[in-house]
Chain A
C-alpha cells in the first residue's frame, strides 16, 4: 500500500519536476544565463534539464553535470527514489527525450544484507523503479533492466558505507 502510494507520488513529483525543468523556464533567482563557472547562481546545466544551481546540486552531493552521475543509490530494503536520484534521473531523462531510441540498460543491485534470492528481487525492483521514472520523464521506453542482487558489490566491507555504495542502480547507455 505504502509502496504503491510512494510510487504514484514519485511519478507525480517527477512529472512536476520534468514540467518545471525546461531549460529556459524562468527561475525566481535573478539568474544569469551564463552556464557553469558561476558556482552560486542560475541554472548551470540547462542542457541536463535541471534548474538547480551548482550550489543546490552540491548540497545533493552532485558535483558537476548531473548526467555524469551514472549511479543512483537507495536506502536499505527500499526502492524509493530520493531527491538526488530525481535530479540525476531527470537529467538522463532530459537527454533521452532528445535522443529517442537510445538503448538504456539499468542494472539493479542490493547490499549483502537479506537473503540472496530476496536481493535478486529487490535489485530488479530498483531497476524497474528507475526505468519507470525515466520513462515517465522522457516518454521513452527503450530500457532493459537486469538484477544482480547482492552478487556484484562495489565494496565488500561489512559496513554501512559499503552497503550504501552497493544499494544502487547503474545507468548505462
Chain B
C-alpha cells in the first residue's frame, strides 16, 4: 500500500482518497466482531488517532495509528473515531484546532511524527491532547532508534501511554499470549505446537512441539517460563518450559493424569492436578524445595487449580457435588468452600489481577465473569462451545476460544462485555490461549 507516499506527494484530494482507501483496506484487518453486548452501557472515550506523519518518502510496514486504534478499541474504554471523519491531520501541537475535534466529538487526540535517522533507523515522537481543555497532555514523547520491525512494539508502548493517561491504569498491550496450534502433517497425524505471540497474535513463534496433545499453557509471572500439559504414551505430564533455553522439564510425571498447571503469583510454586493417589487431587509443587504438597483429598475429580491474586487461595473445579463447580481453598486457614451455585456446571475459573472478578466456563460453553464479592454473574458470551478464558494482566480484557463457522476463533472481549474483537493475526487450528503477566 502506498499510503505514505500519497500522503506527501499529491494534492489534498488525492490525500483524502488515499486515507479512505487505506481505511477500506485496513477495515478488513480491523477485525471488529461485535459491539454492545450488554445494552445500556456508557460509551468508551471518543478518541482520534491521527495517522503519524512520516517525514520522508519511507514506506513503513506497520501503521502505528492503526495498531494503537485497534489496541484501545479492544479494551472497551476507548472508541476510536474513523479517520475519514477528521477535518485536519495535525502532527504538531501548533497544528491542532480544538474546534475541528469538538465538531466530530473527539475528546482525546493522539498524533505524532516519524523520522528516518539512518538506514532502517527511525524515531517516533507522539503527543496526547485533551480537546476539552484545549491542551497537550503530558510531555511530547520520543521513542528513538527503532528499526522497522520495532514499530509495532513502539505502537504498543504508545497505546500503553495513552491508556495510562486517560484511564489511570496499566495497559496490557506489551504483554504476550501463548496458545496451542494443531497442524495436520499427514492424513491422521497431527503436530501440536506451543506458540507465543504478541497480545494481538502478531509475531507468533513456536516454542515447543510434540506429536501428542499439548494443553493448558500457563505463564510464569516473570514471563520466562510456560507450564503446560503434554500427553504421552503413559499419560498426561505437567512440564515447564524455559523460554530462553527451550528446555522442558517434567514437573509432574506420576502414574495417572497430571494436568492443569498454574503458577503462583510470586512464581515460586506451581499448582496442578494429579491422580497419583487414585483420584485427581490438587497439589502444589514448590520450585525451591522441589516438594509436592497435597491440597485436596476428596474422591471426586479436583482439577484446574488457579491462584488468588496474592497467592492466599486456590480456586479449583470439583465434581464432588456430582457436577463440576468451582471451589475455593484458603491457604491461610485451610478452609474450603463452594463458590458457584448458578447453572449446572462451572469450570476452569481464574481470578483477575485484583481479585475482583472470576472468569470461568459456564454450563459447558459460555464465558462468564463472576464478581468475587457478590457472586453476581455477568455473561461475556452465551454460547455452547466457548472455552479457555484468560484475563489480560490488567484484568480489563478476556481472551477465549470460540467457533465461527466451524473455525476455531480466538477472541478478546473487554471485561465490561461491551466489545469483542477477533485476535487479529491468529488463524488456523488453535486452542488453549493463555495471557501472560505484564512485562516486568
| CB of B432 closer than 8 Å to a CB of A | yes
Shortest C-beta distance, A118 to chain B (Å), equals 6
CA A114 – CA B388 in complex, angstroms? Answer: 11
Q: Are A114 and B364 in contact (CB under 8 A)?
A: yes
The closest CB in chain B to the CB of A147 belongs to B257
B393 part of interface (Cβ distance < 8 Å): no
CB contacts (< 8 Å) of B348 on chain A: these are: 115, 117-118
Question: B235 to A147, Cβ gap below 8 A?
Answer: yes
Q: Pick the residue among A3, A77, A118 that contacts B303 (CB under 8 A).
A: A118
Contact A151 B345 (CB under 8 A): no
Question: B303 to A117, Cβ gap below 8 A?
Answer: yes
Known: A4-B299, A151-B213. A117 touches B256 (CB 8 A): no
B residues near A151, Cβ cutoff 8 Å: 213, 215, 231
Name the prevailing secondary structure of the B interface residues. loop
CA distance A165 to B348 in the complex (A): 25
B:315-340 near A, CB below 8 Å: 317, 319, 322-324
Q: Mark A1-39, 1 if CB is under 8 A from B, else 0.
A: 011100000000000000000000000000000000000
Contacts A3-B300, A114-B347, A147-B235; A124 near B317 (Cβ below 8 A)? no
A125-B301, A146-B235 as given contacts; A118 in contact with B257, CB under 8 Å: no
B384 touches which one: A116, A118, A125, A158 (CB < 8 A)? A158
Partner pick for A117 among B304, B322, B365, CB 8 A cutoff: B304
Q: Which residue of B lies closest to A77 (CB)?
A: B323
Q: Note all chain B residues with C-beta closer than 8 A to A113.
A: 364-365
For residue A104, CB closer than 8 A to chain B, the reply is: no
**Residue contact B257 to A120, C-beta cutoff 8 Å:** yes
Interface: A122 (CB within 8 A): yes
Which chain B positions have C-beta within 8 A of A124? 235, 256-257, 275, 280
Question: Does A47 reach chain B (CB closer than 8 Å)?
Answer: no
- Contacting A3 at CB < 8 Å: which of B236, B322, B324, B432? B322
8 Å CB contacts to A: which residues of B211-238?
Answer: 213, 215-216, 229, 231, 233-236
Q: Are B260 and A117 in contact (CB under 8 A)?
A: yes
Which residues of chain B have C-beta atoms less than 8 A from A148's C-beta?
A: 213, 231
Does B181 interact with chain A (Cβ within 8 Å)? no
**B273 in contact (CB, < 8 A):** yes
CB-defined contacts of A77 to chain B, threshold 8 Å: 319, 323-324, 345
Cβ of B198 under 8 Å from chain A: no
For residue B1, give the distance in angstroms from its CB to the closest CB of chain A.
39
Contact A117 B235 (CB under 8 A): no
Would B216 and A117 count as touching, CB distance under 8 A? yes
Size bracket, chain A contacts: 20 to 34
Asked if B160 is at the interface of the complex by the 8 Å CB criterion, the answer is no
A121 within 8 A of B: yes
What residues of A have a CB within 8 angstroms of the CB of B303 in the complex? 117-118, 120-121
Binary interface profile of A, 144-173, with partner B (CB < 8 Å = 1, else 0)?
Answer: 001111010000001000000000000000
**Any A CB within 8 A of the CB of B385:** yes
B:255-292 near A, CB below 8 Å: 256-257, 259-260, 273, 275, 280
Q: Is the CB of B299 within 8 A of A115?
A: no
* Closest Cβ–Cβ distance, residue A116 to chain B (whole Å): 5
Q: Which residues of B contact A147 (CB under 8 A)?
A: 235-236, 257
B270 to chain A, nearest CB (A): 14
User: B317 and A115: CB pair below 8 A?
Assistant: yes
Q: Nearest 9 CB-CB pairs, A to B?
A: A117-B260, A151-B213, A121-B301, A121-B280, A115-B348, A115-B347, A124-B257, A113-B364, A117-B259
| Subset of 16 A-B contacts with CB under 8 Å | A2-B322, A114-B324, A115-B304, A115-B324, A115-B361, A118-B304, A118-B317, A118-B319, A118-B348, A120-B236, A121-B301, A122-B301, A123-B257, A124-B235, A146-B235, A147-B235
Instruction: Identify the B interface with A (CB < 8 A).
Output: 213, 215-216, 229, 231, 233-236, 256-257, 259-260, 273, 275, 280, 299-301, 303-304, 317, 319, 322-324, 345, 347-348, 361, 364-365, 384-385, 387-388, 432
